[in-house]
Copies of this chain bind each other. A is one copy, B any other.
Amino acid sequence: MATTTPARERTRREIEQQAMALFGSRGYDASSLQDIATAAGCSKATVLYHFNGKPAVLAAVLEPSRIALNELVAAAEEMPAAAAQEFALTRFIDLAVEFRGLINVLQDLLGTLDQYPEFAQLISAGLRLTEILAGGTDDQLEIDLAKFAINGLLGECRHPGERSDAELHTLCDTALRRILRLNP
């Protein structure tokens, strides 16, 4: 079962890759199924044969970041609160910088994301991350401040080319530490 899919999944992966490039550069809404199909060298119907609608294409594109976020949260939940907070802060900034091309997509969809069951796990991981970043406190204000910080971070990661990875990293680290009152 390891020698898989010689030509079988080739089209699917091609669609996925082209969709990722288009979503990253133009955003989700501005990338039509026709655009994706043309870029992948197939027809619109073929895209919809491999993926059950446009949101499913997006879900496939976001899969690697979803897995990474889940692993981050799972690892943090094994730690005591203070260590988890520090761990989540640094690792989440790493993730945001690494996948920053896709954050455009998330921001495009944040308002309607909860309408798609494909993204339920992504949303719940985001909520758990919020609580971890808040340091495990019960104080609703601190939890809301952590959410505030995540929103700011997502907004900052949307403009590729303006900053280097290192600059973006510094900015996010400074902002999160100030909001969460964590020393560097």
Which listed residue, B104, B144, B174, touches A156 by the CB 8 Å rule?
A: B144
- Known contacts A141-B170, A174-B145, A178-B181; A154 and B156 CB within 8 A of each other: no
Residue of A30, A112, A144, A145 with most partner-chain B CB within 10 A: A144
Q: Are B141 and A148 in contact (CB under 8 A)?
A: no
- Bound Cα distance from A178 to B152, whole angstroms: 13
1/0 per residue, CB under 8 A from B, across A98-134: the answer is: 0000001001101110000000000000000000000
A67 is an interface residue with CB less than 8 A from chain B: no
- Asked whether A135 is an interface residue with its Cβ less than 8 Å from the other chain, the reply is no
Given contacts A147-B156, A148-B155, A154-B155, contact A171 B141 (CB under 8 A): yes
4 smallest CB-CB distances across A and B, nearest first, come from A151-B155, A152-B152, A148-B152, A151-B152
